[in-house]
Homo-oligomer: A and B are copies of this chain.
Amino acid sequence: MSDNTIPYKIYLNEEEMPKAWYNLRADMKNKPAPLLNPGTGQPLSAEELSPIFCEELVKQELDETTPFIDIPEEIRSFYKMYRPSPLVRAYCLEEKLGTPARIYYKFEGNNTSGSHKLNSAIAQAYYAKKQGLKGVTTETGAGQWGTALSMACSYFDLDCKVYMVKVSYEQKPFRREVMRTYGASVVPSPSDTTEIGKKILAEFPGTTGSLGCAISEAVEVATKNPGYRYVLGSVLNQVLLHQSVIGLETKTALDKYDIHPDVIIGCAGGGSNLGGLIAPFMGEKLRGEADYRIIAVEPASCPSFTRGTFAYDFCDTGMICPLAKMYTLGSSFIPSANHAGGLRFHGMSSTLSQLYHDGYMEAVSVEQTSVFEAATQFARTEGILPAPESSHAIRVAIDEALKCKETGEEKTIVFGLTGTGYFDLVAYQKYNDGEMSDYIPTDEDIAASIAKLPKVNA
């Protein structure tokens, strides 16, 4: 099909939208390692997970064999409010770069949460409602997940308690207000509303909090209050399952116009976007039906794939959550204070970690000044102000397109544009003022936190 017949933005019809999520694990020969009980070191059963997560989500978490899981009608209805998301040809960026490459991006930012997080939030809220729960608890750092969950809970009339890392709570009051507008209660973490929070406050009175601490508080509240469960926006298998809607739409749109991508690029923090975007493509690769270069992009300041270890580790710094086998920098690793935006989780989805370990994908790390340079170039040419997280993928998409310029190759590059940067303008300001810096952890930094990995690895 000639380029002239392909629209700028490919929107699917409602009938073309996915009716089932794709469960990548079903096609993996080496399955991701199971979650372990931190006390016993044994794989967690559905019974053990049920006090923390909703029943249906526990099933999805543990299901390694069902390739397609139907998306309930209620969730599909909600998806229709902001999906399908467009697959956009970056004509203007290509022209500016002078590259023969064709660049496409799947834009997930056209909803009020400003990111792809809503795809899983609405699913998790739906199953909580279906189970007859009163509400859910969660943590949020940069705030995208908390916002998405607030929207989802508002839709299903569920109570939503968000533990927001204190420094973000104070520095990102607007994120907090969006959540409140959607009816969520937002508590700065650590707080005196939990035992763990009180303990941490007593031990470190001046602490500004961390994601791991907020997770611990949210889990405590969910398990202690009847009618509540804990929900998480990344890392877990269930989240990657829900996020497969991104990749499925992308693949349908590409197939519709006979476009074969050569390179697929996604930013990677815990892996929710990357896992969702690449799912159907990786599936083809696993089944030997097609080949693609798949590139995970992570911040140089939090390089779990490129400099971490493949081992069992805690998902939280409070060390009360299940152990997951993943590429990790150690649960006590905290990215440098100058790191802007998300992608600051110490570990990575077990599924993606296994795939990376088995050689099915590449990973690169990039420094944030070069990320904001790419973000600004993208904003000026393509019109969208990207989130810092998404801009990691932009950086590498531009780099790959520039390589094509050198070699003359007309490669097709697809990347995930996960969200918008409206709540990240403090970071943009730093970049605009020339005050943004980079920090790459030393080998000693990483070795110190790796040394604290749980004994189960021994």
Contacts and interface: CB of A to CB of B under 8 A. Distances in A.
A425 B111 contact: no
Contacts of A385: 112, 178, 181
A430 to B, nearest CB: 10
B174 A111 contact: no
B177 A432 contact: yes
Contact of A432 (B181, B420, B428): B181
A420 B112 contact: yes
A362 interface: no
B81 A382 contact: yes
B182 A425 contact: no
A109 B151 CA distance: 18
Interface in A35-73: none
Contacts of A257: none
Interface string A374-388: 001001111111000
A204 interface: no
Nearest to A174: B425
Given A9-B80, A11-B11, A112 B384 contact: yes
A155 B422 CA distance: 20
Contacts of A429: 173, 177, 180
Interface string A208-230: 00000000000000000000000
A369 interface: no
Interface in A366-422: 376, 379-385, 420, 422
Given A14-B8, A425-B173, A180 B384 contact: no
A456 interface: no
B380 A81 contact: no
A92 interface: yes
Contacts of A422: 114, 174, 422-423
Interface in A153-200: 154-155, 173-174, 177-178, 180-183
Max chain B Cβ within 10 angstroms of own Cβ: one of A14, A110, A382: A110
Max chain B Cβ within 10 angstroms of own Cβ: one of A182, A383, A423: A383
B379 A112 contact: yes
Contact of A180 (B174, B181, B432): B432
Contact of A376 (B8, B181, B376, B384): B181
Given A9-B80, A111-B384, 15 more contacts: A7-B13, A7-B14, A8-B14, A8-B80, A114-B422, A154-B379, A174-B426, A180-B428, A180-B429, A181-B432, A182-B379, A182-B380, A183-B380, A422-B422, A422-B423
Interface of A: 7-9, 11, 13-14, 80-82, 92, 110-112, 114, 151, 154-155, 173-174, 177-178, 180-183, 376, 379-385, 420, 422-423, 425-426, 428-429, 432
